[in-house]
Amino acid sequence: MRVAESMNLLITNGRLLDPSQRIDARLDLLIENGVITGTGKKLKSSAPVLDAGGLTVVPGLIDLHTHLREPGQEHKETIATGTRAAVAGGYTAVCAMANTMPPNDERAVTEMIIAESARNGVCRVYPIGAVSKGLKGEELAELAELRAAGCVAVSDDGMPVANAQLMRRALEYCSMLRIPVIAHEEDRNLREGGVMHEGYWSTVLGMSGIPAASEETLVARDVILAGMTGAHLHVAHLSTKGAVESVRAARRAGVHVTAEATPHHIALGDDALQSFATNLKMNPPLRPDAHRQAVIEGLADGTIDVIATDHAPHHFDEKNVEFDLAPFGVIGLETAFSVCHDRLVRRHIIDLSRLIELMSCAPARIFGLPGGTLRAGSPGDVTLIDPTVRFQVTNTFHSKASNSPFIGQTLQGRVVATVVGGAVRHDLRAPVPLPSPKPPRKRKR
Amino acid sequence: MRQTTSSLKSKDLLGIEPLTPEEITLILDTAEGFKEVSERPVKKVPALRGQLVINLFMEASTRTRVSFEIAEKRLSADTLNFAASGSSVEKGETLIDTAENLMAMHPDMIVIRHKHPGAPKMLADRLPASIINAGDGAHEHPTQALLDAFTIRERLGRLHGVNVSIVGDIAHSRVVRSNIHLLTRMKANVTVAGPPTLIPAEIERLGVRVAHSLDEAIDGADVIMMLRIQLERQGKLTFPSLREYYNTFGLTPARLRRAKEGILVMHPGPMNRGVEIASDVADGPWSVILDQVTNGVAVRMAVLYLLGGAHAE
């Protein structure tokens, strides 16, 4: 994250909602030198004032599952554009997945991501390292060195660890490093060329199916391995009933397992694929209602800790092909809050406080990241939201990509402004001129 | 009273699924009229004169491609055949670019065969020409289902209440899906049969009965439709060997001894003799396989006429 402007800010006239302290009151919030120094009624300060104008002021959102694509696939997204998408969606920190090109399986790549984020990022970026060298699932990457370089977790996301012994060793090793192993749970043999959920709609549409069992068998395996090793397993993008049930049972048994779900698995079902729209293609795939409801129940009852986006940008050309040929993945940073607010809070399944817990407090807590709270001494990362406004999602994104399944939908609830380290990085009411990305540094000869 | 209709709602024929029973009946009735054209000494009517039809075949095909081309010629359309091999597709051109370039030359209709489901819909959503699906992956093959229905109706006089069993690789067959939509919509009774490895998930929800034995499929059937077993599936965990498949699901004269008198044996082709069907059956008195091919031309003439000719008048 670039550090430059004034890092002092007084946010007035807002409804302060901080689930981490159980605060829900009309209070001002003061940030000094990028750090929250206090909350209170009618705070006095010489700091610049950001008038919240009655908006809800919450701890900055944190995404545990973002694909920034840099290095290597800058035609899809860069750290500069991905972090701009993040702040536009209310995120003040994102965790960057390891499947870049080259993958983040060694210290040099981690350092590059951190350096580029400092130069051109506009929110905090926490790299996630690879579990195995080259994401090949054969031998462990140098996990301690990745951790030392700044990785906050490890994952072979997109390339699930098929070898149970490797998974076991990764969990054991990471328990020493005190970082979670994030698992993309999928048995690739069971998927076998599948492009959507295997069920009624794959049968009707004649497309190869990905059975729920491909996710459920691996979740079952990995919670057993987590129990055996005592390590922290974080299950990425849960999408099936059986997977939710496995996680629930493991938690009851005291296994250190946490889990996330994505906005698209909450909001959309596989019946939408009748359109053959490639922006509905992702992995895990959209599932039928019974699975979708099980995920929502998991979010409501605490089985699932976190909502994460799995923001997966792809170039227009890559998605403008036959469904079978399109890559998996959809973008999500800029719509996540609105989608979840519309589907969960507006429909009274959870309250706004629980949603902020799922999108900010819990992500910080389970990965041990700064933020996720408005407590004094925490980073000055704050998001301002309007829970009442209704708007239509348009095909204009800060992300380089536009592969969103939500274009055209009318949603209630929107991020209005985002403050990172005391600096306003996004404000719908008065667009913030963000520094233009700097070109790569020239190497001295 | 039976409802009638004189035109199709859509500019395209992407599948049977979107059609109403009235539209299906209209196509079959129109085909009856066109069947006679192919029996005349001069096998040509001027219905599509001046219209350009492009046959965009991105996947191998004999019957369907030839049948469409003959149907187009008998309707006096100008036709152009486009195959993926030898075209810019081999240079990496995308389907949409290929189609948009063809569209720039103002065809009235595009007949497309493609290995990926949804490809015809991609074109239909983007191009003003009428798009006719000539088979898209395992999704739909509407003209095949129409010619099958035409053949059944011609032989049995009706579709309502007819018991049709479809046997073989149900999972990977576009013919099955289009036939299920059509036959259930016309109130026929459909059974699908094959090993569980070749039956797709939740297919019962389409209103069909599932059987796992050939005898069960034959029992009470008025029509038995055998599907091609793709030889390359052998050993891909769907069935152990062609030999075992033939012994379990191959249609032989001995198996047909249990069948209803007058049962019709159908096959969309291409056949694997000695795999899903014995030659004695394929060439025997039950078989209407070549009638299907003959009727294919009439049915495709009807579809082309209703989408193109009827509007142009």
Q: What are the boundaries of each domain within chain A?
A: 60-373+393-411
Whether A249 and A257 have beta carbons less than 8 Å apart is answered as no
Q: Which two tokens stand for residue A86?
A: 């993040």
pLDDT bin (cut points 50, 70, 90) of residue B280 is very high
Is B8 part of a structural domain of the chain?
A: no
Whether A131 and A181 have beta carbons less than 8 Å apart is answered as yes
Residue B28 has pLDDT above 80, yes or no: yes
Whether B120 and B133 have beta carbons less than 8 Å apart is answered as yes
Number of domains within chain B: 2
How many Cα atoms within 13 Å fall on the side-chain side of residue A375? Answer: 11
| Nearest residue to A263 (alpha-carbon basis) of A235, A239, A290, A289 | A239
Residue B235 has pLDDT above 90, yes or no: no
Chain-chain contact of B140 with A206 (C-beta, under 8 angstroms): yes
Q: List the beta strands (DSSP E) in A215-272.
A: 233-235, 257-261
d(Cα A151, Cα A427) in Å, to the nearest integer? 30
Is B161 part of a structural domain of the chain?
A: yes
Q: How many CB atoms lie within 10 A of CB B116?
A: 24
Question: In this predicted structure, what is the pLDDT of residue A4?
Answer: 52
Is B269 part of a structural domain of the chain?
A: yes
Indicate whether B165 and B280 sit together in one domain.
yes
Question: In this predicted structure, what is the pLDDT of residue B237?
Answer: 75
Identify the closest residue of chain A to B99 by CA–CA distance. Answer: A321
Read off the pLDDT of residues A345-373 as tens digits, 9 standing for 90 and up: 999 999 999 999 999 999 999 999 999 99
Q: The domain containing residue B273 runs over which residues?
A: 142-292
Least reliable range by pLDDT among A2-11, A315-324, B149-158:
A2-11
Question: In this predicted structure, what is the pLDDT of residue B67?
Answer: 97
- Is the CATH code 3.20.20.140 the one for domain A60-373+393-411? yes
Q: In degrees rounded to 5, what are phi and psi of residue A302? A: 95, 0
Indicate whether B101 and B182 sit together in one domain.
no
- Is A6 in CB contact (< 8 Å) with chain B? no
Q: How many CB atoms lie within 10 A of CB A389?
A: 14
Residue B8 has pLDDT above 70, yes or no: yes
> In the beta sheet, which residues pair with residue A38?
A30
Whether B110 and B132 have beta carbons less than 8 Å apart is answered as yes
Indicate whether B276 and B253 sit together in one domain.
yes
Residue with structure tokens 């044996």?
A: B265
Residue type, A233: L
Q: How many CB atoms lie within 10 A of CB B236?
A: 10
Indicate whether B92 and B209 sit together in one domain.
no
Chain-chain contact of A322 with B177 (C-beta, under 8 angstroms): no
Residue with structure tokens 């309502």?
A: B160
Identify the closest residue of chain A to B138 by CA–CA distance. Answer: A206
Question: In this predicted structure, what is the pLDDT of residue B1?
Answer: 40
- What residues in A contact B203, CB-CB < 8 Å? 203
What is the distance in angstroms between the CA of the first residue and the CA of the last residue of chain B?
29
Q: Which two tokens stand for residue B244?
A: 């075992």
pLDDT bin (cut points 50, 70, 90) of residue B313 is very low
* Element holding B145 (H helix, E strand): helix B142-156
ipTM for the predicted complex: 0.93
Is B1 part of a structural domain of the chain?
A: no
Whether A125 and A114 have beta carbons less than 8 Å apart is answered as yes
List active site positions of A.
Answer: 310
Identify the closest residue of chain B to A192 by CA–CA distance. Answer: B236
Chain-chain contact of B96 with A320 (C-beta, under 8 angstroms): yes
Indicate whether B287 and B261 sit together in one domain.
yes
Chain-chain contact of B205 with A323 (C-beta, under 8 angstroms): no
Q: Considering just the CA atoms, what is the radius of gyration of chain A in Å?
A: 21
Q: What is the CATH number of the domain that holds B303?
A: 3.40.50.1370
Indicate whether B65 and B152 sit together in one domain.
no
d(Cα B52, Cα B76) in Å, to the nearest integer? 10
Question: In this predicted structure, what is the pLDDT of residue A270?
Answer: 98
The pLDDT > 70 percentage for chain B reads 96
Indicate whether B191 and B129 sit together in one domain.
no
